[in-house]
Amino acid sequence: MGQAASIDPTEIDRFERMAAQWWDADGPMAPLHRLNPTRLQYSRMRLCHHFDLDVGDLRPLTGLRLLDVGCGGGLLAEPFARMGASVMGIDAGAENIATANAHAQALGVEVDYRTMAAEDLAASGAQFDAVVSMEVIEHTADVAGFIAALVDLTRPGGVLLLATLNRTPRSFITAILGAEYVLRWLPVGTHDWQRFRKPAELGRYLRRSGAELRHIAGMRYLPRQGEWQLSRDARVNYLAYAVRPPTRL
């Protein structure tokens, strides 16, 4: 937990309060908490299938090296670690990393958190069995460069799991007007619709970087249950599974 050691102790209180916000399922991050089980369910299913792991096991990802890019407070990184993976979580925001560290330590979950950009980690030559980046692409300025870095970080034969928003009339109405202006789930300005990427565009970026987009799944919100569900309808939120083909000898 290297980062925590380099942080001013007077700041720790503040990070613990921020951790409480990140991790309050009814707090500012509530939409991500609602989305989380569905994203994890898809990831678990794809990882178990790809690496031929035992779906019945509570720690099926044991032995896998997994990178969470744009990990925020660690909402995905911690569950992946509990599923057995050895997880590195990176985020460009030092405060996010301090927050994630404070929470993981308090709960006794081991995650290697670092403040850095995907491009910088890729430049170091690091590679992982699986690279996960969810609800991040729509906030990046250079999508092509970002995805190239994610592919570089995936070892040949490894997996990429991505989640983002589609650019459709429907997503404008639901994700921008609905979530930000009407329901106020998200602060106004959280998302820029122009930065949403269609699955075909995502597929193109991946292909150019040497990975293959294999599967897309939509996510549908069930208002009565307050839960999300995997769906064929990928017009708003969607998940993507891609692989980096093994190098041929």
Site residues for other proteins per CB under 8 A? 20, 23-26, 33-34, 36-37, 40-41, 44, 58-59, 78-84, 86, 103, 106-110, 225-227
Q: How far is the CB of 159 from other proteins (least distance, A)?
A: 17
Q: How far is the CB of 206 from other proteins (least distance, A)?
A: 26
- Residue whose CB is less far from other proteins, 110 or 120: 110
Burial code (b: 16+ CB inside 10 Å, e: under 16) for 218-241 equals bbbbeeeeeebebbeebbbbbbbb
Residue identified by tokens 């092509």 is 144
Q: How far is the CB of 160 from other proteins (least distance, A)?
A: 19
3-state secondary structure of 100: helix
- Residue whose CB is less far from other proteins, 23 or 238: 23
Structure tokens at 27: 């707090």
Report the distance separating Cα 247 and Cα 249, nearest Å. 6
- Residue whose CB is less far from other proteins, 37 or 245: 37
- Cβ pair 42, 239 in contact under 8 A: yes
- Residue whose CB is less far from other proteins, 44 or 114: 44
- Residue whose CB is less far from other proteins, 11 or 57: 57
List Cβ<8 Å contacts ≥24 apart for 124-127. 126/67, 126/153, 127/152, 127/153, 127/154, 127/155, 127/158
Report the distance separating Cα 166 and Cα 242, nearest Å. 17
Q: How far is the CB of 228 from other proteins (least distance, A)?
A: 11
- Residue whose CB is less far from other proteins, 86 or 190: 86
Q: How far is the CB of 62 from other proteins (least distance, A)?
A: 8
Report the distance separating Cα 115 and Cα 95, nearest Å. 9
Q: How far is the CB of 29 from other proteins (least distance, A)?
A: 10
